[in-house]
Amino acid sequence: MGLKVNVSAIFLLLFLTSADVKAENVVFDVTKYGDEEDISKAFKSAWEDACASTSPSKVLIPRGTYLLGPVIISGPCKAAIELQVKGKLQAPVDMREFEGFSSWITLNYVDQFTLTGGGTFDGQGKSASNQNNCGKDKHCKLPPVSLKFNFITNGIVHDITSTDSKYFHAHLLGCKNLTFQHFTITAHDESLNTDGIHIGRSKDIKIIDSDIGTGDDCISLGHGSRQITIEGVTCAPGHGISIGSLGKSQNEESVSGIFVKNCTISNTQNGVRIKSWPALFGGSASDIHFEDIIMKNVSNPIVIDQVYCPWNECSRKSASKVSIKNVSFKNIRGTSRTPVAVQLSCSKDIPCDEVEVADIDLKYTGSEGPAKFQCSNVQPKFHGKINPSKC
């Protein structure tokens, strides 16, 4: 009888041990693949092996500082895959190393993807700033995006930092069900075009509990953005949280289902904004809601701008062809550093429709008179306290 008990106990122990092993991701440590200083080749090799694994796998970049050249890593992979970055990755400073690349790190067609680890992606944008003339020449060659996510599905990026990108920090295209949580982005407020997260043609994206400071939009939503949730985000500095610009290109996909709530926006050029080009192409933006937002010393806290025309590339006299409908601004409070705290400038040909404004309390901190609420080509529905006085 005792022998049977011992055999059963051993069998159970072996079973549990086997189950634990299967539950653990197979780890592919990039430092085991070659040069520990420049890990470009090692990283790609580790990714290829992990992606080929039929069990859930993990590509590990341990603590330390590593140089990483431009890389493209792709799926589909045979099982769930995690990229765990514990160290600091540094992009090349010399722009010539990005010849033929539009981004530093590109991830393509990966399902069940996780990026985590507490590490940092350092774009070294400050060091390369003298190689960028985009502030003077609109036809310049664009610098590389730091992190490009193309057609990533069912994924999460959490506890990761992106710093000093040369261009956008993160760019999403064709993604679905992708969450960014505890994602920290830092760039100097004068760094050009360093949007924090730009979303295009993507669905079911969440950006939550994250700190974003840039030289451009903290978050920008391009055409085809649908069912986007932005919650618990701190934006400072930067140009705020923007939808658009829309209507610049033909056949743009609609924007819909945008929810921005419980955010704090500080010392930025704009707060929450919808922008479209005049005179060019059509499109639509609908079901957009901004709620429970604190503004601290923001130049333009609430904006609909349908005469957006940087570089004077269009005629401001012609009306925008983009339809804006079912938009709400609720419980937004704080301070504006310009007199026009709220500006709703809609298209004269396609006026904004179903715009709701409720419980707004924005105080102007300067000396140019009381705060103002300006409207054109829109008839908002007002509820609750409205300060400044409604248009």
Instruction: Give the CATH number of the domain where residue 373 resides.
Output: 2.160.20.10
pLDDT in tens, 327-373: 999 999 999 999 999 999 999 999 999 999 999 999 998 988 899 99
Res 339: pLDDT: 97
Report if residue 197 sits inside a domain: yes
Report if residue 133 sits inside a domain: no
Using 50 as the pLDDT threshold, list the residues of the chain that sit under it: 1-5, 7-22
- State which residues form the domain around 116: 25-128+142-211
Report if residue 7 sits inside a domain: no
Res 140: pLDDT: 74
Q: How many domains does the chain have?
A: 2
Q: Residue 178 CB: number of other CB atoms within 10 A?
A: 21
Q: What is the pTM of this model?
A: 0.92
C-alpha span between 203 and 133 (Å, rounded)? 34
> Do 258 and 388 share a structural domain?
yes
> Do 312 and 164 share a structural domain?
no
Identify whether 383 is a catalytic site residue: no
Residue 100: which residues within 8 A CB-CB, separation 6 or more? none
| Integer angstrom CA distances of residue 225 from 275, 293, 296 | 14, 21, 27
The phi and psi torsions of 181 (rounded to 5 degrees) equal: -135, 135
The first and second tokens of residue 312, run together, are 């004077």
Closest CA to 78 of 57, 102, 105: 57
> Do 276 and 201 share a structural domain?
no
Report if residue 256 sits inside a domain: yes
For the chain, give the mean pLDDT: 92
- For 187, counting Cβ atoms within 10 Å of its Cβ (0-12 exposed, 13-18 middle, 19+ buried), the class is buried
Q: Residue 135 CB: number of other CB atoms within 10 A?
A: 11
> Do 318 and 205 share a structural domain?
no
pLDDT in tens, 109-158: 999 999 999 999 999 998 877 777 776 666 678 899 999 999 999 999 99
Catalytic pick among 169, 223, 239, 383: 239
Res 377: pLDDT: 98
